[in-house]
Amino acid sequence: MIAVQGLRKDFTLHNQGGVELPVLEGVDLDVQPGECVALDGPSGAGKSTLLKCLYANYRATAGSVRVGDTEVTTATARELLALRRDTIGYVSQFLRVVPRVPALEVVMEPLHGSPDARHRAEQMLLRLRIPMRLWSVPPATFSGGEQQRINVARGLIRPMPVLLLDEPTASLDADNRLTVVTLINEARTWGSAIVGIFHDQKVRDAVATRTYRFH
Amino acid sequence: MSAPLLSAAGLCKRYGERLALADVGFDLWPGEVLAVVGESGSGKTTLLNCVSARLRPDAGTVRFLTRHEGQQDLFALSEAQRRMLARTDWGFVHQNPAEGLRMNVSAGANVGERLMALGERHYGRIRGAAADWLMRVEMDAARIDESPQTFSGGMRQRLQIARNLVTRPRLVFMDEPTSGLDVSVQARLLDLLRGLTRDLGLAAIVVTHDLAVARLLAHRMLVMKDGRAVEQGLTDQVLDDPQHPYSQLLVSSVLQP
């Protein structure tokens, strides 16, 4: 489902005298449906950068990144938008939302107006213990943990062939961490190919089928 | 969908010695929102005017996917055909609402006018559609008979949007739609625009110098400098991993776009 070959990512800082920052080099990674690969390595090793290259948020400098049938490094904007809509679920570290949209609608969004969207979003919010009084409130004012759960709810509400998870449990309490672990394992059993960064060793052990180590 | 809604290629425009637009092109597909960013004088408004057929480029083509006749070269159409497109399939939201509204007729008449231009003559239906659209842009329908002169800037902008969307256009051009407004009013208008483009499957080209506006509204982004498109990509690609020196400068010059 995911096939990365010889991926390199440098950042060129044109306004700092053209400084080159090499972050990834020679990354090879294959992920099959039903696998969950934990990215492991010290801070700054490039774990987030790899996730962002898979999501086409960052542009690869060299190498090949295939997600499903799409070669991400050469796809057009339109193909990438379709890939994100139909294939990739992404839970980023931080929630970025429109100021006035209520939490429930943020979570419903990936379901694109399907008739049971509201019901499924409510189930998701219940599972993640978001108090009902917050459902109609825009998440901008939520606590870090609540925002993260909204992010997880939105990213996992729909089974996706590929899931990219950037620290989905970082600021959660034990109960919610356990719920997120369950949700991730449900997605994997469904057949998602999952790549994630999980700092919490227990979470990693509970979800990962193998580890990719950065040096 | 087999063809882009709008295809621009090789657009050039000179004002005397100054090159306002140099070989700019892009494809826009149905439902996509494209932000055109850059500083004043970069050519973004000239680009908007060329692709909306308000200004004839010196070179290059703009093709639009018409409802019945396939892709048509805008500048090969007759003036009457272009006018027809402009009031049916397109909307144009100006930075200054007074340019897009008729300030001396009522709010309802402003919205109804485009329907009448399409041949609607039934007063009740026109008034009903106008009231409906005022509500959709979060205005009090009770103000339908008031003149926009009595409205605030934010209300005028929402009225202008209602006037444009009542004919269900497929493509809306927007020139700095939020920049004349207070920040709180901007957020509300952005939300509204985002909801409308998504719910109606509208394609839009939004000229803005505000990267936060682009982040919230647009799927894709085109960065203009000195009349050239120096970078194009998904909005988050351009904002999070800008490639061109100028895009990097633009992104690093603002607080958290």
Is A56 close to B237, i.e. CB distance below 8 A?
A: yes
Shortest distance, CA A2 to any CA of chain B (angstroms): 20
Together in a domain, B121 and B42: no
Among residues B111, B140, B168, which one ends one of the domains? B168
Q: Please report the DSSP string for chain A in residue order.
A: -EEEEEEEEEEEEGGGTTEEEEEEEEEEEEE-TT-EEEEE--TTSSHHHHHHHHTTSSPPSEEEEEETTEETTT--HHHHHHHHHHTEEEE-SS----TT--HHHHHHGGGTT-TTHHHHHHHHHHHTT--GGGTTS-GGGS-HHHHHHHHHHHHHSS--SEEEEESTTTT--HHHHHHHHHHHHHHHHHT-EEEEE--SHHHHHHH-SEEEE--
Residue B257 pLDDT exceeds 90 = no
Among residues B150, B168, B186, which one ends one of the domains? B168
ipTM, two decimals, is: 0.91
Together in a domain, B75 and B111: no
Give the lowest-confidence range in A52-61, B25-34, B210-219, B233-242: B210-219
Half-sphere exposure of A156 (CA within 13 A, CB side): 28
CATH of the domain at A89: 3.40.50.300
pLDDT of residue B256: 60
- The reply to whether B35 falls in a domain is yes
Q: What is the mean pLDDT of residues B144-160?
A: 93
Shortest distance, CA B89 to any CA of chain A (angstroms): 22
Together in a domain, B119 and B187: no
Together in a domain, B178 and B115: no
Is B237 close to A101, i.e. CB distance below 8 A?
A: no
- The reply to whether B26 falls in a domain is yes
Half-sphere exposure of A18 (CA within 13 A, CB side): 0
pLDDT of residue A176: 95
What residues of A are in contact with residue B249 (Cβ under 8 Å)?
14-15
Taking residue B30's Cβ as centre, other Cβ atoms within 10 Å add up to 15
Residues spanned by the domain of B135: 102-168
Average pLDDT, chain A: 94
Is B233 close to A11, i.e. CB distance below 8 A?
A: no
pLDDT of residue B1: 53
Average pLDDT, chain B: 92
- The reply to whether B9 falls in a domain is no
Q: Provide the number of structural domains found in chain A.
A: 1
Together in a domain, B201 and B252: yes
| Partner residue opposite B234 with nearest CB, options A11, A77, A101 | A77
Is B236 close to A11, i.e. CB distance below 8 A?
A: no
Question: Is A197 within 8 Å of A165 (Cβ atoms)?
Answer: yes
Together in a domain, B85 and B185: yes
Convert the pLDDT of each residue in A146-162 to its tens digit. Answer: 999 999 999 999 999 99
CA A194-A198-A204 angle, 5° bins: 80
| Partner residue opposite B234 with nearest CB, options A15, A80, A99 | A80
Shortest distance, CA B117 to any CA of chain A (angstroms): 33
Among residues B141, B168, B195, which one ends one of the domains? B168
Is B187 close to A52, i.e. CB distance below 8 A?
A: no
Together in a domain, B60 and B186: yes
Pull the structure tokens for residue A60: 């690869």
Residues spanned by the domain of A166: 2-213
Shortest distance, CA B251 to any CA of chain A (angstroms): 11
Shortest distance, CA A77 to any CA of chain B (angstroms): 6
- The reply to whether B96 falls in a domain is no
| Partner residue opposite A101 with nearest CB, options B191, B233, B245 | B191
| Partner residue opposite A99 with nearest CB, options B29, B187, B240 | B187
Shortest distance, CA B103 to any CA of chain A (angstroms): 30
What residues of A are in contact with residue B244 (Cβ under 8 Å)?
14
Residue B190 pLDDT exceeds 90 = no
Q: Provide the number of structural domains found in chain B.
A: 2
Mutate to test the interface with A, among B27, B138, B248, B254 (most CBs of A within 10 A): B248
Convert the pLDDT of each residue in B21-74 to its tens digit. Answer: 999 999 999 999 999 999 888 999 999 999 999 999 999 999 999 988 899 999
Is B248 close to A13, i.e. CB distance below 8 A?
A: yes
pLDDT of residue A125: 97
Q: Collect all residues from A whose CB is shorter than 8 A from any CB in B.
A: 11-15, 52, 56-59, 77-78, 80-81, 96, 98-101
| Partner residue opposite A100 with nearest CB, options B188, B232, B243 | B188
Together in a domain, B128 and B197: no
Residue in B217, B118, B129 with CA at minimum distance from that of residue B172: B217
Is A15 close to B248, i.e. CB distance below 8 A?
A: yes
Together in a domain, B198 and B164: no
pLDDT of residue B71: 93
Together in a domain, B190 and B161: no
- The reply to whether B7 falls in a domain is no
Mutate to test the interface with B, among A100, A164, A166 (most CBs of B within 10 A): A100
Shortest distance, CA B123 to any CA of chain A (angstroms): 33
Chain A residue with CA closest to B221: the answer is A77
Share of chain B above pLDDT 70, in %: 98
Together in a domain, B190 and B117: no
Chain B residue with CA closest to A74: the answer is B233
Share of chain B above pLDDT 90, in %: 73
Together in a domain, B153 and B175: no
Q: For residue B207, what is the enclosing H or E element?
A: strand B203-207
Residue A101 pLDDT exceeds 90 = no
Q: What is the mean pLDDT of residues A96-111?
A: 87
Is B240 close to A78, i.e. CB distance below 8 A?
A: no
- The reply to whether B31 falls in a domain is yes
CATH of the domain at B193: 3.40.50.300
